[in-house]
Chain A
Amino acid sequence: MIAGPLILFIIVLEMVRRRRLREDYSLLWLGTFSVLFILSLFSRSLLDSIADLMGIAYPPTALFVVGFGLLLGVMLQFSVVITRLAKENKSAAQHIALLAARVKQLEQMLEEQDTK
């Protein structure tokens, strides 16, 4: 329970170091693993009282609930990022199409000039 988040934390750090993951997208992951790590480290005091607060009889379940909530946050961030990428992608494709049409028109005009 304690080793899991720690290992994942290190893996994410390593991916950032190798530039396979951007810093800004890694932050939510690192935050998630940190929270899970802290909760499992102080399972007696912290986790138990959180479980108590949430009305959960079996404390490890609280860990899952908290982890699940954090994962939802990460996934929501993905949707936001995908939406932005789709918007940028659309705009890029539109500009490429318009520019390609202009290049073609210019080429045709040049050809006409050459043949004259």
Chain B
Amino acid sequence: MVKRVISTFDLEQSQEAPSRRVLVIIPAYNEEESLGRVIRNVHAAEPEVDIVVINDGSTDATPDIAEGYKVNLVSLPYNQGIGSAMQTGFMFARDKNYDIAVQVDGDGQHDPREIAQLVEALIAGDADIVIGSRYIEDRGYITPWQRRIGIVILAAVVSVITRQRITDPTSGFRAINRRAIHFCAQDYPFDYPEPEAVVLFNRANLRVHEIPVTMNPRYGGQSSITPFRSAYYMVKVIMAIVIGLLRKRPDAAGEVEVVRKTTQA
């Protein structure tokens, strides 16, 4: 039952260490149709990793389905939105001392076979956050044009602010390391958090890296995004990002940060 906890964790040196503990976080709100398949696919692709399903106050059989698998289940008492659900997952990862957390959405859009690529890119050491992007390479993912416009605008805003080319700021398929886990557990945006999180990472001097992935159409259930909502979210997210710029820079506590500060002093 007791798992080995790695206390000395060094990104730069431990290329050979296979014992990094990886947690897959699956946020799920009324995903009874697809959740079982997502869990089986993650287990099939990555038998070694642990899974935590964050049931975001589902009113359907989502928690019962999770109970049927060898996963951790954390059930929020009522629906709080993806941002709060993910933050709960990051808190879980922090409390259980995981080295890497990977977000895989419960609707089946993310292919668990690509978790390995995200984790490898993270371990390679030049990033604290690795985002799986649908748009670096054209792999036949079809986005409705209204949403594509929204994503292009958000990508432009985020790219300008972070001074780094970000092609898919809305992608939730991400792997993050221990420093970023602690940062996200502390403070994570709500509602529609992904683009805002990219800007927050940048401002906290966490390094973001994108790699190409293939995304599937969702297995079942309803997308939460309607045209009116996408417009509302666009305005809300851009406002949140711009106002965020007026705040004090967030601090990602960690060795790198401390080193940076002392060298400046």
Contact = CB atoms under 8 A, between A and B. Distances in A.
Interface size class of B (residues with CB under 8 A): 10 to 19
B78 A97 contact: no
A94 B78 CA distance: 10
Interface stretch (B5-13, B86-94, B161-169, B257-265): B86-94
B140 interface: no
Interface string B186-226: 00001000000000000000000000000000000000000
Given A98-B88, A98-B91, A109-B1, A93 B80 contact: yes
A105 B75 CA distance: 13
A11 interface: no
Interface in B1-23: 1
B1 A97 contact: no
A94 B84 contact: yes
B1 A94 contact: no
Interface in A64-104: 90, 93-94, 96-98, 100-101
Contacts of B73: 101
B80 A100 contact: no
A93 B95 contact: no
A57 B54 CA distance: 62
Contact of B76 (A93, A105, A109): A93
Is chain A's interface secondary structure helix, strand, loop, or mixed overall?
helix
Contact of B92 (A90, A93, A96, A98): A98
Chain B contact residues: helix, strand, loop or mixed = mixed
Nearest to A96: B77
A90 B80 contact: yes
B143 interface: no
B98 to A, nearest CB: 14
A111 B77 CA distance: 25
B45 interface: no
B127 interface: no
Contacts of A93: 76-78, 80, 84
Contacts of B72: 101, 105
B1 A98 contact: no
Nearest to B88: A94
Given A93-B76, A94-B76, A97-B54, 17 more contacts: A90-B80, A93-B78, A93-B80, A93-B84, A94-B80, A94-B84, A94-B87, A94-B88, A94-B91, A97-B75, A98-B91, A100-B74, A101-B74, A101-B75, A101-B92, A105-B72, A109-B1
30 contacts: A90-B84, A90-B190, A93-B76, A93-B77, A93-B80, A94-B76, A94-B80, A94-B84, A94-B87, A94-B88, A94-B91, A96-B77, A97-B74, A97-B75, A97-B76, A97-B77, A97-B88, A98-B74, A98-B88, A98-B91, A98-B92, A98-B95, A100-B75, A101-B72, A101-B73, A101-B74, A101-B75, A101-B92, A105-B72, A109-B1
